[in-house]
Amino acid sequence: MITHIHSTTIIVADKQVALDFYVDTLGWEKRHDDPVGEGYRFITVAPPGSATELVLGTADEYPEDAAPSVNKINMHATDIDGTYATLAERGVNIKPVEMMPWGQKATWMTDPFGNTFFLIEE
């Protein structure tokens, strides 16, 4: 049986810039950074302790997925107000926290390449 989602791919223009953003700015872990063929790197990142990883791919590696802003990924946070404050202080493009119609606090952020993330409080 399927136990969990391993990864999803997002399209980035520069893998090193993306890696720096996710690891240095968001505080995520680098899980894989492996050479794959000539000049390519297979890179994954994830929040600490997460089972699911993001694959950082370029348009030439995944041309079928290269349309801008096609990636909409949902994430949870235990303290969304604190997370918002930290990420805004670090210069992340993040909207102010809002109360959703169903009663949870949430916000949206984008990475340097326009990938959109919906962040909701658990």
pLDDT tens digit string along 20-35? 999 999 999 999 999 8
**Which is the CATH superfamily of the domain at 1-62?**
2,3-Dihydroxybiphenyl 1,2-Dioxygenase, domain 1 (3.10.180.10)
Residues 6+ apart with CB under 8 A from 89: none
28-43-67-95 Cα dihedral, nearest 10 degrees: 10
Output the six-digit token pair for 92. 């992340």
Residue 118 pLDDT class (50, 70, 90 cuts): confident
Q: What is the pLDDT of residues 35-82, one digit of tens each?
A: 887 888 999 999 999 999 999 988 888 665 555 545 568 888 889 999
Measure the CA–CA gap between 39 and 75, rounded to whole angstroms.
31
Output the six-digit token pair for 106. 């949430």
Q: Which CATH number fits domain 69-122: 3.40.50.2000, 3.40.50.620, 3.30.720.110, 3.40.50.360?
A: 3.30.720.110
